[in-house]
Amino acid sequence: MADSVQHPEMEAEVVIVGGGPAGLACALHLARLYAAQGRSAENILLLEKGRALGAHQLSGAVMDPRGLRALEPEFASDPELGAIPVEDDALFLLSPDHALRSPVTPPPLHNHGNYVVSLNRLAQWLGAKVEAAGVSVFPATAGRELLWENDKLIGVRTDDKGVGRDGRPKSNFEPGYDLFAPVVVLAEGPRGSLTKQLLARCALGGANPQVYSLGVKEVWELPANRFPAGRVYHTLGWPIPPELYGGGWIYGLGGNRVSLGLMTALEYADPATDPHNLFQQFKTHPWMRALLAGGELVRFGAKTTPMGGWYALPPLAGNHWLLLGDAAGFVNSQRLKGIHLALESGRLAAEAIFAGALARYPESVRASWMHEELWPVRNFHQGFEHGLFAGLANAALQMATGGRGLHERYPSVPGHERMRTITTLGDPPPRLTPDGALTFDKVTDVYHSGTRHEEDQPSHLLIADTDICNRRCTFEYGNPCQNFCPAHVYEMVFDEHGAKQLHLNPSNCVHCKTCDIADPYQIITWVPPEGGGGPSYDGM
């Protein structure tokens, strides 16, 4: 796109990038603080790349109510939200053909007092309150670039609309806006594209690198009375290889629906590892097969989640910016919960913005229950780096020592560095061929994610050097992009000379960010496509 494009400008007080629980909580609380002073919230801007608020929201989800209660004390009784109290929870250990119910549910997986929610619905519900509070909400709008004046962050540029595949403006071209504000709040969720720009430019990071898991999820409708609303099951073991971190879930959503999914750490050695295929295998376990018999796939989605914990948190605030929720890395990997932390980080950020003292935000996080919850599990994830059994032993040890374990900080490395070249490995892990009834291929699943993009636009997957893909990677790692992408965006096809060549299907992309994270050469950069593109996670 030519540099001569004139970008319309808008002055704002705060620009919030991302309409997940973190961004929405920040907007809502700040608007209410403004309202108490009779100030209009019109110049608080919130950008969300999804077609509508909630469209890109996918979670499990069992929610710890602490975060939401601080904002909306009466949430549990609002039928519009439809939060379901957890009635029953259990942990199962899976071997290829047995499911062993753990006689006790370990305390971190106790969910009594928590709620089963749809994050998509929660975002719509909070979003309606945010709009009613007068915040300027811009759906279908992506933050595309940070704006700097020397080393001072001064705002955000939004995505250009109406650019053709060839990079040229179409007749309906609309240039992105330059939004100038003294405070930029990054609430982009895991691996945010602006967050990545910020951390790279300012050379910031945590004590440990951030590491991620990919969650692949389906919603199923089951015969009546098969799985009650509010039942929460977690699984460990098969089909996740024993040396890898991960596990499954089944949550009863009510209306005969269940949420089921599998988390796979993006820290594996074998490039043939395919988290989507592992999830399909998970459903073929005899115990799962019986549960799902007679049921029907309703929705599909996939999303990453940061797992590094406290030691992977980058600095949370600068002079003109704040990092919230998953963009910072506030997930309790032991409990697989981040919604409450995202909401609370948004609320605390709003307090700091309102006080005109951004540095208060990290201080208040440290003084809050967020720190109290995350500090004792600061080494939990790293303890699993040698697999399930070492991890469980470490977890027990850490629990006995208040989180410290054998040493104060267990180190970790970025997940992609663990990947090994194919010649150093034995046979690839078994793959399942989908049957189209219980198990599905990626394309069928993507259809159930409601994903859609403007077709005539430049690819939003920037690959620094496709020669690496077509020549080096084919021989060294066997093009793991085909395996780790849960949406069949990456495909190796044969060209006319019989050589393998990378072919992209960007329109399939469900915005999970796995490729940006897991590529062993780190040459894939995920940037937001034209605003409004992506999945439509109704009820997820």
Ligand X SMILES: Cc1cc2nc3c(=O)[nH]c(=O)nc-3n(C[C@H](O)[C@H](O)[C@H](O)COP(=O)(O)OP(=O)(O)OC[C@H]3O[C@@H](n4cnc5c(N)ncnc54)[C@H](O)[C@@H]3O)c2cc1C
**Region at 162 (left for phi over 0; alpha for psi -120 to 50; beta for the rest):** left
Exposed, middle or buried by CB within 10 Å (0-12, 13-18, 19+), for 439?
Answer: buried
- Side chain identity, residue 427: D
Q: How many residues does the chain have?
A: 540
Which residue number, 192 or 246, has a Cβ lying nearer to ligand X? 192
Which residue number, 386 or 452, has a Cβ lying nearer to other proteins? 452
Picking from 428, 449, 432, the residue whose alpha carbon sits closest to that of residue 440 is 432
Considering the rule CB under 8 A, would residue 460 count as an interface residue with other proteins?
no
Among 17, 24, 25, 55, binds other proteins (CB under 8 A): 55
Residues 6+ apart with CB under 8 A from 520: 271, 416, 417, 419, 473, 476, 477, 480
Q: Which stretch binds other proteins (CB under 8 A): 65-73, 76-84, 137-145, 364-372?
A: 137-145
Which residue number, 118 or 193, has a Cβ lying nearer to other proteins? 118
> Residue count at the site for other proteins (CB under 8 A)?
30
d(C-alpha 386, C-alpha 269), whole Å: 11
Residues 6+ apart with CB under 8 A from 259: 60, 61, 116, 217, 218, 219, 249, 250, 251, 253, 540
Among 325, 450, 520, 529, binds other proteins (CB under 8 A): 450
d(C-alpha 324, C-alpha 286), whole Å: 41
Q: How far is the CB of 46 from other proteins (least distance, A)?
A: 11
Q: How far is the CB of 305 from other proteins (least distance, A)?
A: 24
d(C-alpha 304, C-alpha 511), whole Å: 9
Which residue number, 23 or 506, has a Cβ lying nearer to ligand X? 23
Which residue number, 78 or 495, has a Cβ lying nearer to other proteins? 78
Span 275-334, contacts to other proteins by CB under 8 A? 298-299
Which residue number, 281 or 508, has a Cβ lying nearer to other proteins? 508
Instruction: Using only the alpha carbons of the chain, give its radius of gyration.
Output: 22
Residue 450 interacts, among ligand X, other proteins, none and using kind-specific CB cut-offs from 5 to 8 Å, with other proteins
Considering the rule CB under 8 A, would residue 539 count as an interface residue with other proteins?
yes
Which residue number, 324 or 469, has a Cβ lying nearer to ligand X? 324
Residues 6+ apart with CB under 8 A from 58: 119, 120, 215, 217, 301, 302, 303, 535, 537, 540
d(C-alpha 387, C-alpha 409), whole Å: 18
Residue 174 interacts, among ligand X, other proteins, none and using kind-specific CB cut-offs from 5 to 8 Å, with other proteins
Q: How far is the CB of 179 from ligand X (least distance, A)?
A: 11
Compose the 159-198 pattern: x for residues touching other proteins by CB under 8 A, - for all others: --xx-------xxx-x--x-x-------------------
Q: How far is the CB of 516 from ligand X (least distance, A)?
A: 12
Residue 51 interacts, among ligand X, other proteins, none and using kind-specific CB cut-offs from 5 to 8 Å, with other proteins
Residues 6+ apart with CB under 8 A from 491: 482, 502, 503, 504, 505
Residue 143 interacts, among ligand X, other proteins, none and using kind-specific CB cut-offs from 5 to 8 Å, with ligand X
| Phi then psi dihedrals of residue 21, to 5 deg | -55, -40
Considering the rule CB under 8 A, would residue 49 count as an interface residue with other proteins?
no
What's the sign of the alpha-carbon dihedral 374, 378, 380, 385?
A: positive
Among 69, 226, 448, 500, binds other proteins (CB under 8 A): 448
Which residue number, 279 or 477, has a Cβ lying nearer to ligand X? 279
DSSP state of 471: I
What would the 3-class secondary structure string for 177-198 be? CEEECCEEEECCCCCCHHHHHH
Among 11, 42, 465, 495, binds other proteins (CB under 8 A): 42
Considering the rule CB under 8 A, would residue 451 count as an interface residue with other proteins?
yes
Which residue number, 111 or 124, has a Cβ lying nearer to other proteins? 124
**Are the C-beta atoms of 278 and 396 separated by less than 8 Å?**
no
Which residue number, 136 or 501, has a Cβ lying nearer to other proteins? 136
Report the interface residues with ligand X, using CB under 6 A.
17-23, 47-50, 56-57, 59-63, 119, 142-143, 187-189, 192-194, 215, 217, 261, 303, 305, 324-327, 331, 336-340, 342, 528
d(C-alpha 136, C-alpha 11), whole Å: 12
Q: How far is the CB of 467 from ligand X (least distance, A)?
A: 29
What is the signed CA dihedral for 275, 281, 286, 292, rounded to 10 degrees?
80
Residue 194 interacts, among other proteins, ligand X, none and using kind-specific CB cut-offs from 5 to 8 Å, with ligand X
Considering the rule CB under 8 A, would residue 447 count as an interface residue with other proteins?
yes
Q: Name the site residues for other proteins (rule: CB under 8 A).
A: 8, 10, 42, 51-52, 55, 136, 138, 140-141, 158, 161-162, 170-172, 174, 177, 179, 221, 298-299, 447-448, 450-452, 536, 538-539
